[in-house]
Amino acid sequence: MKIAVGSDHAGYELKQRLAQVLQRQGHDVLDLGTHGTQSVDYPDFAGAVAGAVAGGRAERGLLVCGTGIGMSIRANREPGVRAAKCNDPLEARMARAHNDANVLCLGARVLDPSVAEELLSLFLSTPFEGGRHATRVAKLGAV
């Protein structure tokens, strides 16, 4: 799977760790920055990842900032993107199973890195259930 990844300065180290995990699992990683720990504006990187997913350059996206909140707000402004900020395994599974989320947003300041790895794994391995959820997801795009 091709996965676009991005972070701000607060999420840089966790993004790097998760990108390596993705590569070891055989995924194609499209790293859209940032590429260091110098202060940057998170909306720039959230927009780049969301645009890659919406434009079909990546099947899924991963965004990491301090809390995951700002990234999710910006990513969800892109038509066709369903970004989910997740903090626990249930949220990661349900984001995919019920909401067909295509971008995972994580907070480097609020998650242990091993938990972040677990959430990413669940997010990528959980299929969308469709059915009654498909009608609801379609309404998200109509807003």
Is 98 labeled as catalytic in the residue annotation? yes
**pLDDT (tens place) for every residue of the chain, 143 residues total:** 999 999 999 999 999 999 999 999 999 999 999 999 999 999 999 999 999 999 999 999 999 999 999 999 999 999 999 999 999 999 999 999 999 999 999 999 999 999 999 999 999 999 999 999 999 999 998 76
SS3 57: coil
Question: Is residue 9 a contact partner of residue 38, using CB atoms and an 8 Å limit?
Answer: yes
- The residue segments making up the domain with residue 28 are 2-142
Which CATH number is 83's domain given? Answer: 3.40.1400.10
Residue 5 dihedral angles phi and psi, to the nearest 5°: -125, 150
The catalytically annotated residue of 9, 35, 98, 133 is 98
Note the pTM of the prediction, 2 decimals: 0.97
**What is the number of domains present in the chain?**
1
